[in-house]
Amino acid sequence: MLRYFLTRLAGAIPTLFIIVTIAFFLIRAAPGGPFDQEQTLPPEIMANLQSAYGLDQPIWAQYGRYLGALAHGDFGPSFKYKDFSVTELIGQGFPVTLEIGSIAMALALILGIPIGTFAALHHNSATDYATMSLAVVGIAIPTFVVLPFLGLLFGIYLHWLPVAGWEPGSIRHLVLPVAALALPPLSVIARLTRANMLEVLRSHFIRTAVAKGLPLHTVILRHAMRPALLPVASYLAPAVASIMTGSLVVESIAGLPGIGRYMVQGALNRDYTLVLGMVIIYSTLLILMGLAVDLLYAWLDPRVKLER
């Protein structure tokens, strides 16, 4: 297992390297520069700015400098937020995004799997139809519609929860954003679990387990759950991607100071280094997720041979 993990990790590094390189050169090669939106500056000041940010050097030198800085965890200065380096911004924002993202993911699993199982056990009942209809709603309606609606209902009409804003350590401010963020993956997981559980419950080995007189909870938890969850495991990586995407929306609407918001701002402001830094962070996260999912898969199904 360990050897597999290390091999895959080693394989991931070149991928990351390629992504960084392509991103870097693409940005540098693009028309226009980061200072184009400011009012036209006198050429001397422009030259000063360029050299301060290292933009007057040949491109290979810039690349080298960037990689060198990266190795030390330095993502360079933000072109827009003049007083901050990208590293600082990431440092501030990442914990927030990580917090809401992981809570949302955990919620999606903790609620989605039991709901799907329950629906499968009560196949074709009213509860089944009800929960699956809600799941369709959760999948179809985009997060940027759900969150404001939730805010309208719970914040403005009912006054139960704050609509936006953030205070460190406050849970009330996280409830609506996390709920809106968790809804799509929760719905997908519920649907997947239900469909797979129905399949698995028809298997011969489940028939054997029932014939052995085992109580229902044992049959479900010990015999049915693992095979039923295999497809859910494959969904985990797309789920994380979906939560990442959702965090852009949720942070922007609710005013949460996470890296998602910086990403959007960076795009609107054409802040090169910021966006580059974000791309690296997100790519790393995704690759790590992919790795984790592979390991999870192998644990769930002992028939999967790890040496391929």
Partner 1 sequence: MAPILSIDDLTVSFSQPDRSISAVRQVSLAVAARECVAVVGESGSGKTQIFMAAMGLLEGNATAQGSVRFEGSEILGAQAPQLNRIRGSKLTMVFQDPMTSLTPHLKIGIQLAEVLVCHTGRSWSEARIAARRMLERVRVPDPARRLNQYPHELSGGLRQRVTIGMSLLCEPLLVIADEPTTALDVTVQAQIIDLLRAMREEVGMALVLISHDLGVVAGLADRILVMYAGRIVESADSAELFRDPRHPYTGALLKCIPTLSGPSLARLPTLPGQPPQPEDSLDGCAFAPRCPRAAERCRTERPLLREAGNAGDRGSNGIESGSSAIENGGARRVACHFPLSP
Partner 2 sequence: MSGLLDDAVRRLRSNPGAMWAMFVVAGLVALALFGPWFNPNGSETLDWLHVASRPALQSAHWFGTDRLGRDLFARTLEGTRVSLAVGVVASAVSLAVGIGYGAVAGYVGGRTDHVMMRVIEILSGLPLIFFVIFLTVVFGRSEYLLFLAIGAVGWLTMARIVRGQTLSIRRREFIEAAVASGAGTARIIVKHVIPNVIGPVVVYATLTVPQIIMFESFLSFLGLGIQEPHASLGTLIAEGAGEMEAAPWILLVPGGFLAVLLLALNIFGDGLRDALDVKER
Using CB under 8 A as the criterion, which residues of the chain lie in contact with partner 2 when the complex forms?
23, 26-27, 30-32, 136-137, 139-142, 144-145, 148-149, 151-152, 156, 163, 198, 237-238, 241-242, 244-245, 248-249, 252-253, 263-264, 266-268, 270-272, 275, 278-279, 282-283, 286, 290
CB of 198 to partner 1, least distance (A): 11
Using a 10 angstrom Cβ sphere, with 0-12 exposed, 13-18 middle and 19 or more buried, the burial of residue 254 is: buried
Q: Could you identify the residue written with the tokens 């809401």? A: 100
Give Cα separations from 42 to 3, 22, 53, 223 (angstroms).
58, 32, 17, 73
1 binds partner 1 (CB under 8 A): no
214 near partner 1 (CB under 8 A): yes
On whether the CB atoms of residues 230 and 298 are closer than 8 A, the answer is no
Q: Is 57 left (phi over 0), alpha (psi -120 to 50) or beta?
A: beta
Three-state SS at 225: helix
Contact 94, 210 (CB under 8 A): no
Q: Which does 290 bind (CB under 5 to 8 A by kind): partner 2, partner 1, none?
A: partner 2
Interaction of residue 301 with partner 1, rule CB under 8 A: yes
User: Residue 215's binding partner, choosing from partner 1, partner 2, none, with beta-carbon cut-off 5 to 8 A by kind?
Assistant: partner 1
Looking at 97-105, 149-157, 201-209, 261-269, which segment touches partner 1 (CB under 8 A)? 201-209
**Contact between residue 16 and residue 286 where contact means Cβ atoms under 8 Å apart:** no
Total residue length of the chain: 308
* Smallest separation, CB 218 to partner 2 (Å): 26
For residue 245, the minimal CB distance to partner 2 (Å) is 5
Cβ at position 236, least distance to partner 1 in Å: 18
8-state DSSP, 40: P
Binding site for partner 1 (CB under 8 A): 203-205, 207-216, 218, 222-223, 226-227, 300-303
